[in-house]
Each structure stands twice: as structure tokens, then as C-alpha cells.
Amino acid sequence: MNMKRTTSPKGIFFDVDDTLYDHLAPFREAVQETARPGEAFPYEAAYHRMRYYSDRLSVELGGAGTAAYGEAVEEMRRRRFQLALAEFGIPLSLEEAEVVQQTYLDRQYTIRMFAGARELLKKLADAGHVVGLITNGPADHQMNKIAAMQLGDLIPPDRLFVSGAVGWDKPDPRIFRHVNQLTGTAPESSYYIGDSWRNDVIGALAAGWNIIWFNHRSVAPESEHEPHHIVTSYGELELLLDELIG
């Protein structure tokens, strides 16, 4: 009796913030406009500290769905700016941190996708691969960003996974397993592209996925984990995916 071997489709999933678009730009604009630091202010270093505190404080709150992302999360967002900017000599009151946070939020919807990102998403989708997004954050907030990038014509709604709607935050491997279950993909044939070491590299590895670390800001690894591949641009990523999946 002949038996056909069934293989899982290739799944290629992307992070959103600072992977599909420049997440540093709204941070820089918000700090410039509100805190007005000097010309030599290290925006990129401060940005990385803000993201560190954002991740840490989110975990302390309990992760995805906590308090329906209500006032506790708004306080966390203000606090992350206080803690991060204080490290660089800019003390903020809660009221001042709220102004920075609101300006930052407003600027996030002026999306600047990285060069080659949209073209690669279209190429992968046109080739018939299972292409989607996995992102941390409140559902409405993240979906507004996705809408601002006009990705609805490339990625169907059932392949958009936001932690606030799913119930698990990266790096929890359950969010990746959930994606596999709903998309009919297998971990060994799933690829994840993301910039965050803590959320993307560690999370995807824990779930048995292939991780491509998008290290476009040339940051140092934060642990002994080893990503399968490292790229620094969408040009490099396209060449790598051509080799890996054709």
C-alpha cells in the first residue's frame, strides 16, 4: 500500500514593533518634543532601556489581558518612561511622563515600515506560504498599527495574533503553540522573525521554532541562547529565506 507523506506548510511569522517598522522613530520624536534633551542625547540607548522596563513591568502586572489593559497598564507606560529617562539624567514627574507617553502613542500611528518589508511580505504571501504576525500588546493598540501599515491585503485576520487577544505574551511558548494549532503548521517548519532577544529569540526557541533574529540595531545577546540565523536588513532576510524555503 502506498502512503503519501504529509508535510506541514511553511509558516513565516513576524514580530511587529521594531521588526516591521522603525519603533525608535516615535520614541525619538516624543522625547525630543516633550523632554527636550541636548543634541548628544543617546536616543537608541534610552529606547532600549524603555523597552526593557516595558517588558519587566508588564510581567510584574501579570502579562496579557491583565486588568483588561486598564489604568494599571497606563501607569506602567508612564513608569517605564520615568525609569528609562532617569538613567540618562532626565527626571520626570508622573504628569510629565504622561505627556511623553501620549506623544509617543500619537507618533506610533505614523508608521515607517523598514525598506523591503512590505515587498517581502507580499513575495512570501504570493508564494503560498502561511504568513502572519505575532505581537505583544493590547489588541486594539496593535491592530491600529497593523491597519496603519495597510497589511490587511497581505495577511488575513486569522493569521494576526496579538497577545492581548490570545491570552499569552511572548516569550511564553504557549502563544507560538497556539499559532501552530490554528494555522496547521508545525514548530519545525515554522520561522519567526523578530528583533527582541527576550521576547522573540527566547520565546521561539522554547517553542521549537526556527528563529531569525532581526538584529538591525547591532545589540548584544542577552543570554546563552543561540538563534538559528541573524540578519540585519530585509535584503539579508530575503536572501536567507530564499535559501531556507525557496
3-state secondary structure of 9: coil
The reported pTM is: 0.90
78 in a domain, yes or no? yes
Last-in-domain residue among 107, 133, 164: 107
Number of structural domains found in the chain: 2
Q: In this structure, are 103 and 208 located in the same domain?
A: no
First to last CA, the chain: 32
pLDDT tens, 63-112?
665 545 567 778 889 999 999 999 999 999 999 999 999 999 989 888 88
Structure confidence at residue 144 as a pLDDT band (50, 70, 90): very high
Residue 81 CA to residue 74 CA, distance in Å, equals: 11
Structure confidence at residue 16 as a pLDDT band (50, 70, 90): very high
Q: In this structure, are 81 and 129 located in the same domain?
A: no
Last-in-domain residue among 78, 107, 136: 107
Last-in-domain residue among 63, 92, 107: 107
**Structure confidence at residue 18 (pLDDT):** 96
- CATH code: domain of residue 155: 3.40.50.1000
**Structure confidence at residue 233 (pLDDT):** 98
In the sheet that 190-194 helps form, which strands lie side by side, from edge to edge? 160-162, 130-135, 11-14, 190-194, 210-214, 229-231
Q: Counting beta carbons within 10 angstroms of the beta carbon of residue 105, is it exposed (0 to 12), middle (13 to 18) or buried (19 or more)?
A: middle
pLDDT of 5 > 50? The answer is no
H-helix or E-strand spanning residue 192: strand 190-194
86 in a domain, yes or no? yes
Distances (CA, A) of 53 to 25, 46, 78, 166, 206: 18, 11, 11, 22, 22
pLDDT tens, 183-223?
999 999 999 999 999 999 999 999 999 999 999 999 999 99
Q: In this structure, are 77 and 117 located in the same domain?
A: no
2 in a domain, yes or no? no
* Full domain range(s) for residue 161: 11-21+113-245
